Amino acid sequence: MLEIQGIAVSQGIAFANAYCLKEPDLSYEEVKVADVDAELVRFKATVVKTKTELREIHEIAQEKFGAEKADIFAAHLLVLEDPEMLAAIEAKIQAGVNAEFALDEISNMFIAMFEELDNVYIQERVADIRDVSKRILANLLGVEMVDMNHLASEVIIVAKDLTPSMTAMLDTKYVKGFITDIGGKTSHSSILARTLEIPAVVGTKNATQNIQHGAPIIIDGTNGKIIVNATSEVSSYYMQQQRLQIEEQEELFHYRTLPSLSADGCSVEIAGNIGKPEDVEFVINAGGEGIGLFRTEFLYMERQELPTEEEQFQAYKSVLEKMQDKPTIVRTLDIGGDKHLPYMKLAAEMNPFLGYRAIRISLTQQEMFRVQLRALLRASAYGNLKIMFPMIATVDEFKMAKAILLEEKQNLENNGCTVSKTIEVGMMIEIPSAAIIADLFAKEVDFFSIGTNDLIQYTLAADRMNENVSYLYQPYHPAVLRLIKNVIDAAHHQGKWVGMCGEMAADEIALPILLGFGLNEFSMSASSILKTRAHFAKLSKQQLMTHNERILLLSTSSEVEEYVKKNQLSLS
């Protein structure tokens, strides 16, 4: 028995025999060619042959994955037909080198050009150029490309890497999972595995060397484990795990369309955190009831200058339209601290987390702030927008930010622009000073959203990036819990609602406490939504509330954890 560890990228457990894909040998020699015309004819004929192959794959992919996913092959065909690339290759051949060398040279030149660009979307397309030129090269050399069309029994694919065209040929009737030597969570094949809902483990480094073709293997895509030649004991353990997972999946799936209710019928909102407009899909698929935190930093990062109002407007509008009437909370720019924008030239600071960041920058560099607010206000006509300001420490800061927002709103309306009349304006609670005077803030805001990561680090005065003090990152520290309770009570007293958008909102120990405290909205990564909703369905809010007082009197984080476990609050 052999155990291999890799990166878990698509969950599930599967049993099947290994199907090892060998990379075709595409090595060639650079040679001088005397008969240039014959070489040109050979190259052109190969391009035609490759085109036919790609069209077939495109059709198969369309049937199997739908038009959108198959688009990648339409793009491959465009690369193959690219007049500039073909002309450059042909010119090289005309200069007297063989087609293999000419092709490799020119495609590498384009790859280098793409990699230099600052645009990640285009950098990702390098894989397509590689894929296409490999395919032509294989045809030039008369080497058979890997073919998975002839599978007749269930297998788990083992490969160095899966190219987009290989994955397009994956037939889930037979392919029960795959394992690769390289790759990460966001590589093309990993995303595809999640779409196909088959287990996958990538980044194993040397699975192809250690797994024999045809060997019986177990893949555990949840924990990133592969077992080769399992003993019957290990086998039966995984069979049981597989059954449990399937049952859990079925149970969770059932919660997708259900409202988030506790066992005693109290309703909460479970929302998703997103960083990019595309992430909305994951939240919708998981049955999220809103977006509790849309971080807008991504719009400003990995670029040379500030994003324009129009670009931001399009990004916000696309999210709001997809969410329809569900609430979408957008946080204004939270830059500074550990997040930097090269083009903004912020000075290095001794204590960046206590320094010039977030709303502090927005209030001094108002033109940048106003551009973002205008984009948000214009987009508000397309959905249910709520706006919140990060890192508010004083009531004056909030009032000033809100006044700027209202001024921009007035200007837009004067210019005949449609702006929603019902935009709620709230703030993040991340700084202890704000949490302590939440009663005073509650008169000014429409809602609070508690950002636990920063609130914990500021309350315990412990830099969360510093490993030497990481033991002080204590979500259940009584000071943190008391602050949270204070914020919730202060808001409710003024008839306002409170959400939470930090990691704590999906924490199993924290959930019963927060529900008992009366938190209204829980925002988390999309993958935690269904699990949390299922958890809530088991909890009784009325019963949990009776524990509030005792929990708030506990003196350490570990006492709180023990209390929750001992009283089985997570199962009440």
Q: Measured from the CB of residue 317, what is the shortest distance to other proteins in angstroms? A: 10
By C-beta, is 180 or 296 nearer to other proteins? 296
Give strand pairing partners of 448.
Answer: 427, 498
Q: How far is CA 523 from the centre of its chain?
A: 15
Is position 277 an interface residue for other proteins (rule: CB under 8 A)?
yes
Is position 113 an interface residue for other proteins (rule: CB under 8 A)?
yes
By C-beta, is 88 or 524 nearer to other proteins? 88
Window 126-155: residues binding other proteins (CB under 8 A) = 128-129
Q: Which of 31, 45, 67, 122 binds other proteins (CB under 8 A)?
A: 122
CA-to-CA dists, residue 537 to 284, 318, 561, angstroms:
20, 32, 21
- State yes or no: is 188 an active-site residue: yes
Is position 281 an interface residue for other proteins (rule: CB under 8 A)?
no
Q: How far apart are CA 276 and CA 159, in angstroms?
A: 31
CA-to-CA dists, residue 26 to 19, 143, 213, angstroms:
21, 7, 21
Q: Are 257 and 282 within 8 A, CB to CB?
A: no
Q: Which of 310, 338, 349, 396 binds other proteins (CB under 8 A)?
A: 310
**What is 314-341 written as a DSSP string?**
HHHHHHHHHHTTSEEEEEPP--BTTB--
By C-beta, is 299 or 419 nearer to other proteins? 299
Which candidate in 188, 340, 492, 547 is catalytic? 188
By C-beta, is 66 or 259 nearer to other proteins? 66
| DSSP letter assigned to residue 267 | B
- State yes or no: is 58 an active-site residue: no
Number of residues that bind other proteins (CB under 8 A): 33
Q: Which of 114, 237, 353, 356 binds other proteins (CB under 8 A)?
A: 114
Is position 311 an interface residue for other proteins (rule: CB under 8 A)?
yes
Is position 186 an interface residue for other proteins (rule: CB under 8 A)?
no
Q: Measured from the CB of residue 301, what is the shortest distance to other proteins in angstroms? A: 13
Q: Which of 108, 212, 223, 308 binds other proteins (CB under 8 A)?
A: 308
Is position 555 an interface residue for other proteins (rule: CB under 8 A)?
no
Question: How, if at all, do strands 424-429 and 447-450 pair?
Answer: parallel
For other proteins, which stretch binds (CB under 8 A), given 13-21, 68-76, 213-221, 410-418? 68-76
Q: Are 164 and 131 within 8 A, CB to CB?
A: yes
Binding mask 288-307 toward other proteins (x if CB under 8 A, else -) reads -----------x---xx--x
By C-beta, is 135 or 496 nearer to other proteins? 135
Q: Cβ contacts of residue 234 below 8 Å, gap of 6+?
A: 1, 218, 227
Which candidate in 20, 58, 477, 501 is catalytic? 501
**What is 418-441 written as a DSSP string?**
---S--EEEEEE-SHHHHHTHHHH
Q: Are 292 and 498 within 8 A, CB to CB?
A: no
Window 316-335: residues binding other proteins (CB under 8 A) = 318
Sheet of 175-180, strand order: 2-5, 225-228, 216-220, 13-20, 155-159, 175-180, 200-202, 7-10
For other proteins, which stretch binds (CB under 8 A), given 110-118, 138-146, 445-453, 559-567? 110-118
Is position 118 an interface residue for other proteins (rule: CB under 8 A)?
yes
To the nearest 10 degrees (0 to 180), the angle between helices 36-65 and 83-94 is 150
Q: Which of 25, 27, 83, 347 binds other proteins (CB under 8 A)?
A: 83
3-state helix vs strand vs coil in the chain, percent to 5: 50, 15, 35
Q: Which of 315, 438, 500, 539 binds other proteins (CB under 8 A)?
A: 315
**What is 38-56 written as a DSSP string?**
HHHHHHHHHHHHHHHHHHH
Residues making contact with other proteins (CB under 8 A): 71, 74-75, 78-79, 81-85, 110, 113-114, 117-119, 121-122, 124-125, 128-129, 277, 299, 303-304, 307-308, 310-311, 314-315, 318
**Residues marked as catalytic:** 188, 501
